[in-house]
Amino acid sequence: MNSTSLPHGVVAGADIRIGAGRSRKFVGDEHGADVSYFYVENQPGEGPGLHWHPYSETWVVLEGTARVTIGEETFDAEVGDTATGPAYVPHCFTNVGDGLLRIIGIHASATIIQTFLDED
């Protein structure tokens, strides 16, 4: 089913894909939703740099193992684990497994606002 034949309110994955990869960026404000998310597929060693948001972010690990840093705490999250980072607290994650990491980062905001520490 292509995006033109989807029911109202359904967003095709291809319409929110980031570049040529499989990751997606859903900005709620563009679709009448009060939340936004990143659906990320990372190879081993990949992940976003340390950054923060003016709202909380919640991650759900769908496949693989993520090493998550929230503030001063670092831990490994595996399939089915959920973690939340509070507003304004720097955080990041990296794929520390041997295979693909699939993770959803849910932003408690209709828009995505993020500041990377190397940009401060």
CATH number at residue 14: 2.60.120.10
Strand order in the sheet with 24-26: 24-26, 36-42, 101-107, 57-63, 82-85
First-to-last C-alpha distance (Å) of the chain: 43
Residue 22: per-residue pLDDT = 87
What residues make up the domain containing 77?
A: 3-119
Structure tokens at 21: 């990869």
Q: Give the number of domains in the chain.
A: 1
Predicted confidence band of residue 1 (pLDDT cuts 50, 70, 90) = very low
Rounded distance between C-alpha atoms, residue 65 and residue 69, angstroms: 13
Phi, psi (deg, nearest 5) at residue 89: -95, 125
Rounded distance between C-alpha atoms, residue 22 and residue 46, angstroms: 14
Is the pLDDT confidence value at 104 over 90? yes
Predicted confidence band of residue 2 (pLDDT cuts 50, 70, 90) = low
Predicted confidence band of residue 21 (pLDDT cuts 50, 70, 90) = confident
Provide the 8-state DSSP code for 17. Answer: B
